[in-house]
A = this chain, B = another copy of it.
Amino acid sequence: MTRRAIATVCLSGTLEDKLAAAAAAGFDGIEVFEPDLIGSPWSPAELAARCADAGLTIDLYQPFRDLDSTDPERFARNLRRAERKFDVMTALGTDTMLVCSSVAPDAVADLDRLAEQLAGAADRAAQRGLRLAYEALAWGAEVSTWDAAWEAVRRADHPALGLCLDSFHVLSRGGDPAGFGAVPADKLFFLQLADAPRLEMDVLQWSRHHRLFPGQGAFDLPGFLGAVLAAGYTGPLSLEVFNDVFRQSDPRRAAVDAMRSLLWLEESLAHRSPGAAPGAIPPPPALTGHSFAELAVDGVSGPQLAGALTALGFTHTGQHRSKPVQLWEQGRARVLLNASVVRPEGPGLAAVAALGLESTDPTASALRAEALLAPVLPRTRGAAEAELSAVAAPDGTEVFFTRTGPDGWPADFLDTGAPASPGAGLTAIDHVGLTQPFDSFDEAGLFYRAVLGLEPEGVVEVAAPFGLVRTRAVANPDRTLRLALTASLLRRGGWAPGVPAPQHVAFTTGDVVATARRLRAAGAPLLAVPANYHDDLEARVDLDPGLVAGMRECGLLYDEDAGGSYLHLYTEVLGSRVFFEVVQRIGGYDGYGSVNAPVRMAAHRRLRLATA
């Protein structure tokens, strides 16, 4: 039975806040990070009792720094310090102490001497019934790789001395987990798990500020864990994540995010093991596309959105049986305008309230989401209405798992009998763009990856008029379902007027120039693109002059990647919070035109100022 633990340093708040959060998220144990204890009025014995009450074991006391020393007197003092910490551990009822490789100028370089000092400390620990897990910090002065740490432990040859393996320290240095197999299983004392993005920076800063929970970064955590387990490790899977955002975000949410990352990790590992027993979590059914995007509107923003959809070639085809919800359709592009959702943003606003995602098995999708700790939303259901399973994404957006057909959600809508618009060539939803709260950007990426089985794409950062903006997209394998998650990297400038950065729904067309002409003729509220943009585009990229002329005429923007190109246009912001995009993907272009976001944002700001 896998035991799951979390270091208190992963979470914000006081030690009391952290314990409550870890217990509520279902963790079995914690690592006690020393500064959390030092700031707590609970004695170690009282902390032990509180943990027991909360169903948590204390799996590690950490860290003990700079144990070894070339100065005998300082080493003797370090041993006295260790004895004091052994007192604390005895009162805590935990038997394992993390000993980091030294970063001090007096760190011992000679492996035999280091082994001797480690063995001496282990001997004292053993006399107290304790043991030491030695870990190579990636920036250790003399020992900075796991194999050097292992060599010291091997030479020390003391039963109370073993290894702590930390995925960050190993993988950040390019260490090879395949080597773990050479370590006897009884020397693998502890395992700490952390993911991280690939960053070009000092490894200490990278480690202290940018670690992530497994599945949120770029490291191969399933491979790492597989190697550790294959080497015979049987202790807890314990998270140790230093992250500036998690340090200040709600610990109750962060703990759930952390638990989800371990569930994802265990499942990912199981998938790699042929013949593994099926896990407790139902596998993700395939998601095949967007069935609808639902916008919350009110009496002011509703007519504004309806007018825009009409100009975009949509037809108001359905009216919900029991709620003030309109269905608008064009091809397979469907938008719901829902006037029954109470949104906190204020009067006159619109917002993306829900995503309808087409699932091959909606019930199984919902069960999986629940097993992965997604909040399941209650539904009020009228007579003759289809059951819809919905969960809440980290930003509060409702995610519906749907089957679009006569027996599915469309049955909830009565035909309006409205004559079908000839349309403007829009065929489907290409993607939905959701602005994430700052605190939940990485949580959201893992949510969509783990809960929905979508693939995360690379992170893109752009310098936008109100600060840096980060985008990470998630998509299904055949790219019929895409979500673009964005967040302000620091914060959005509060000096500029406006509610949080807008959300958007992007529609696909096979001929964006033709579509744009029809939209203009219909009076759609298209966003003007500066001539300077096209002048620069012509200077940068060799494009067909006719195409550029069409782009100038229609206000189209351009991007390209290795796979193809992207032509797109935006509307103005509607209901203060939502805009639409129309996109044509040519070839295998796989991005979202993020490079053009600053041009859009500047244009949106000008319109806001002009109408303020």
| Chain B residues with CB below 8 A from A467, complex form | 12, 244, 247-248
> Which B residue's beta carbon lies closest to that of A601?
B39
Give the distance to chain B from A595, nearest Cβ to Cβ, in Å: 10
Interface size class of A (residues with CB under 8 A): 35 or more
A606 CB-CB contact with B under 8 Å: yes
| Chain B residues with CB below 8 A from A245, complex form | 490
The 8 Å CB contact of A84, one of B492, B538, B599, is: B538
B249→A495 contact, CB < 8 A: yes
Contacts A44-B532, A248-B493, A495-B249; A465 near B84 (Cβ below 8 A):
no
A40 CB-CB contact with B under 8 Å: yes
| Chain B residues with CB below 8 A from A34, complex form | 536
Give the distance to chain B from A213, nearest Cβ to Cβ, in Å: 18
A533→B466 contact, CB < 8 A: no
> Which B residue's beta carbon lies closest to that of A600?
B39
Instruction: Bits for A583-612, please: 1 = Cβ < 8 Å to B, else 0.
Output: 000000000000000110111011000000
A273 CB-CB contact with B under 8 Å: no
> Which B residue's beta carbon lies closest to that of A542?
B77
A269 CB-CB contact with B under 8 Å: no
Which positions 68-85 of chain A face chain B at CB distance < 8 Å? 77, 80-81, 84-85
B41→A530 contact, CB < 8 A: yes
A535 CB-CB contact with B under 8 Å: yes
> Which B residue's beta carbon lies closest to that of A248?
B467
Contacts A247-B467, A248-B490, A465-B13; A602 near B202 (Cβ below 8 A):
no
Which positions 522-536 of chain A face chain B at CB distance < 8 Å? 528, 530-533, 535-536
A248→B538 contact, CB < 8 A: no
| Chain B residues with CB below 8 A from A37, complex form | 532
A35 CB-CB contact with B under 8 Å: yes
B251→A13 contact, CB < 8 A: no
| Chain B residues with CB below 8 A from A250, complex form | 493, 495
A602→B14 contact, CB < 8 A: yes
Once the chains are docked, how many angstroms separate the CA of A488 from the CA of B244? 11
> Which B residue's beta carbon lies closest to that of A37?
B532
A38→B536 contact, CB < 8 A: yes
> Which B residue's beta carbon lies closest to that of A604?
B14
A2 CB-CB contact with B under 8 Å: no
A339 CB-CB contact with B under 8 Å: no
Give the distance to chain B from A607, nearest Cβ to Cβ, in Å: 11
A463 CB-CB contact with B under 8 Å: yes
A599→B38 contact, CB < 8 A: yes
A489 CB-CB contact with B under 8 Å: yes
Once the chains are docked, how many angstroms separate the CA of A81 from the CA of B538? 9
Give the distance to chain B from A162, nearest Cβ to Cβ, in Å: 24
| Chain B residues with CB below 8 A from A38, complex form | 530, 532-533, 536, 599
A379 CB-CB contact with B under 8 Å: no
Once the chains are docked, how many angstroms separate the CA of A44 from the CA of B530? 11
Once the chains are docked, how many angstroms separate the CA of A528 from the CA of B205? 33
Which positions 461-490 of chain A face chain B at CB distance < 8 Å? 463, 465-468, 488-490
> Which B residue's beta carbon lies closest to that of A245?
B490
A491 CB-CB contact with B under 8 Å: yes
Once the chains are docked, how many angstroms separate the CA of A202 from the CA of B538? 33
| Chain B residues with CB below 8 A from A84, complex form | 535-536, 538-539
| Chain B residues with CB below 8 A from A599, complex form | 38-39
Once the chains are docked, how many angstroms separate the CA of A39 from the CA of B493? 18
> Which B residue's beta carbon lies closest to that of A81?
B539
B491→A248 contact, CB < 8 A: yes
| Most chain B beta-carbon contacts within 10 A, residue among A201, A465, A536 | A465
B39→A465 contact, CB < 8 A: yes
B39→A244 contact, CB < 8 A: no
A438 CB-CB contact with B under 8 Å: yes
| Most chain B beta-carbon contacts within 10 A, residue among A244, A252, A528 | A244
B463→A35 contact, CB < 8 A: yes
A496 CB-CB contact with B under 8 Å: yes
| Chain B residues with CB below 8 A from A202, complex form | 200-201
A88 CB-CB contact with B under 8 Å: yes
Once the chains are docked, how many angstroms separate the CA of A2 from the CA of B77? 61
A322 CB-CB contact with B under 8 Å: no
Give the distance to chain B from A290, nearest Cβ to Cβ, in Å: 30
A13→B468 contact, CB < 8 A: no
Once the chains are docked, how many angstroms separate the CA of A14 from the CA of B538? 23
Binding site for B on A (CB under 8 A): 12-17, 34-35, 37-44, 77, 80-81, 84-85, 88, 200-202, 204-205, 244-245, 247-253, 438-439, 463, 465-468, 488-496, 528, 530-533, 535-536, 538-540, 542, 598-599, 601-603, 605-606
- With A14-B605, A35-B598 given, can you name 8 additional A-B contacts, CB distance below 8 Å? A12-B493, A13-B496, A17-B496, A38-B532, A39-B602, A84-B538, A88-B535, A247-B493
18 CB < 8 A contacts A-B: A12-B496, A13-B493, A14-B606, A17-B496, A35-B598, A38-B532, A39-B465, A39-B603, A40-B602, A44-B532, A77-B542, A84-B538, A200-B202, A244-B468, A248-B467, A248-B468, A250-B493, A439-B494
A-B CB proximity, top 3 nearest: A248-B467, A250-B495, A84-B539
